[in-house]
Structure 1
Amino acid sequence: MKFDLHTHHERCGHAEGSIRDYIEAAIEGGLNVIGISDHSPYFGREEDHAEPYIAMAKSEFSHYISEVLRLKEEYKDRIEILLGVESDFFPEHADLYRQIYEQYPFDYIIGSVHQTGGVSIFNRNRWKKLDDVQKIKAKEEYYRLILQSARSGMFQILGHIDAMKGFYPQFSQLPTKAVEETLKVIGDVGVAIEINTSGKTKDCGGWYPSDDILERALYYGVPVTFGSDAHIPSRIGDEWELVQRKLREIGYKEWVFFRQKQPVSVPL
């Protein structure tokens, strides 16, 4: 059972190809299940399309959902298509996002922290003027938001939980107990984390999260899933078999995908 739950398409403004292109690539790649999970609009902003190169417009959201559901029916005999979305997590707007998502039949929602202090986690310049203490505080703020997102009850999956290392690989070595504390909470509430293979497209290389985080996640009973975070169709299912092998080595026995917000266990 091969699946990929984290995919994007042209609506977000920084991915290439249509939803159909990703579905066809998934079929060609031998996937049984493909989740479509483009970036949600910035519902907390007044503008219809607040960030044209980051997320879809509010006015596109219902069209996005309708298209996925139509293609789900069209391809039902060839591949299972799941309706998802990658949602930013802003605590001050959480209730608004929740109310909007409850209107639609999502199979799963990925909660991802992309900003702290109003600055992108991928902004390499944010680190340049910080001393070591400030860098640790920045890391702790990131994990504080991830912990809150886990407790919010809004999400089935937490996206790329150490992606702040993307353009600052030293991030992983910043000493703090925040990562351990966050993993414990994630395990307690039962939300899954993804192994996201898009780290290879950033300076850090590899996957999100790192192997040591996955080892601690196993200790705390955190479920895991797979997402390529594909922004081009050719990355669908990228390194799926390598991730499967690594999870077995670490000691995982299963991983999950979500259908109608319920976990479906897949033996490793």
Structure 2
Amino acid sequence: MKKPKNTEQTFATKSKYRKKSVIVDYHVHTPYCGHAKGKMIEYVETAVNCGLSEIGFSDHLGRYYLGRVQKKKYWDWGMPEKDLARYFDEASELKKLFSDRIIIRIGLEVDYIEGAEHLVERIVNNFPFDYLLGSIHCLPAQGWHHLLEYGKTDSPDAIYSQYFSAVKAALQSGLFQSLAHLDFLWRYVKWPVERWPELAGFISEAVSAAASSDICMEINANGYAYSQAEYTKDFNPYDLFLDSIKKYGPTITLGSDAHSPRHVAKFFSEIIALLKNKGITNVSLFDRKKRTQAQLS
């Protein structure tokens, strides 16, 4: 593996955060998933230049286990099972190479599919991952299509009900250390403004369930940016989400959802300032699934 090079990144040149700061990005993808750009080493170099304390790779595991449960072939995206060893080995090599500059954690993002828990467990237990992010990108009532395909609907009730039911099941499954981008649904399926209290109920129940299950909730900087762009100041579900975290107290992980090296730690200065303003000042760190807490700075 090549020696790390000094790269220049926009965030790095503007950021006030240096190595002594406790700032981590635990949601970073790689080319192994088939839809991310750049090389793994470039993601790490960006993290170093941004002054991050830790970077965590959490590439998409392919949803091939969905077809095994449903007995039907589905279109898939994500890392094939056969590439898991190469992914883990490359990340492990980078961990050694950058050991004096940054801590590298190795995880996965795994779609929760009810009924496939035993298949996922068999796959992920073959490697000593530091953490697993649970996520929901598709729902059975919609033919297991990706949520971004749903588009505008005048009747979001069934979709929201099924999504948040799946969220609770994922939190109670025991598979994950953190639940990724709870906001994923409201990025693509809008909830009526006049029914704001019902959405607040969905969100608070999910966050409360995370606290009860002692599972982290991810603060997804990409999701925050979506909410800022798509919603008004008076109606922003992300505010409901953060207020619920402050109220119910689940621990958090922080992630950019980077699919390109230049997106590592993107929007972190804004989201960290917002977290502090809400009184959320601690972030969770994982080493072989053992959790510790550190203060954001």
Q: Which moved more, 1:241-250 or 1:73-82?
A: 241-250
Contact 2:62 2:78 in 1 (8 A): yes
Within 5 Å, give how 1:1-268 maps onto structure 2.
1-44=22-65, 45=67, 51=75, 54-117=77-140, 118-125=144-151, 127-128=152-153, 131-132=154-155, 135-170=156-191, 175-176=198-199, 177-199=201-223, 202=226, 205=229, 210-268=238-296
SS in structure 2 of the partner of residue 170 of structure 1? coil
Counterpart residue type for residue 218 of structure 2: E
The C-alpha deviation readout for 1:49-69, integer Å capped at 9, x for no partner, is 9756x2012211111111111
SS in structure 2 of the partner of residue 115 of structure 1? coil
Contact 1:65 1:83 in 2 (8 A): yes
SS in structure 2 of the partner of residue 4 of structure 1? strand
Superposed structure 1 runs of 4+ greater than 6 Å apart? 206-209
Paired residues in the alignment total: 261
Counterpart residue type for residue 261 of structure 2: P
Identity of aligned residues (%): 27
Deviation at 1:85, TM superposition (A): 0.6
Deviation at 1:89, TM superposition (A): 0.5
Counterpart Cα distance in 2 of 1:88 and 1:235: 22
Unaligned runs of 5+ residues in structure 1 are none
Counterpart Cα distance in 2 of 1:121 and 1:218: 27
SS in structure 1 of the partner of residue 28 of structure 2? coil
Counterpart residue type for residue 178 of structure 1: F
User: Residues 5 and 81 (structure 1 numbering): CA distance in 2 closer, same or farther, change over 3 Å?
Assistant: same
SS in structure 2 of the partner of residue 85 of structure 1? strand
User: Residues 201 and 10 (structure 1 numbering): CA distance in 2 closer, same or farther, change over 3 Å?
Assistant: farther
User: Residues 74 and 198 (structure 1 numbering): CA distance in 2 closer, same or farther, change over 3 Å?
Assistant: same
Deviation at 1:214, TM superposition (A): 1.3
Deviation at 1:203, TM superposition (A): 7.8
User: Residues 167 and 119 (structure 1 numbering): CA distance in 2 closer, same or farther, change over 3 Å?
Assistant: same
Deviation at 1:231, TM superposition (A): 0.6
State the TM-score, normalized to the length of structure 2. 0.81
State the Cα RMSD in Å.
Answer: 2.5
- Say which one has the larger Rg: 2
Counterpart residue type for residue 99 of structure 2: K
Counterpart Cα distance in 2 of 1:120 and 1:41: 13
Counterpart residue type for residue 281 of structure 2: K
SS in structure 2 of the partner of residue 210 of structure 1? helix
User: Residues 38 and 51 (structure 1 numbering): CA distance in 2 closer, same or farther, change over 3 Å?
Assistant: farther
SS in structure 2 of the partner of residue 198 of structure 1? helix
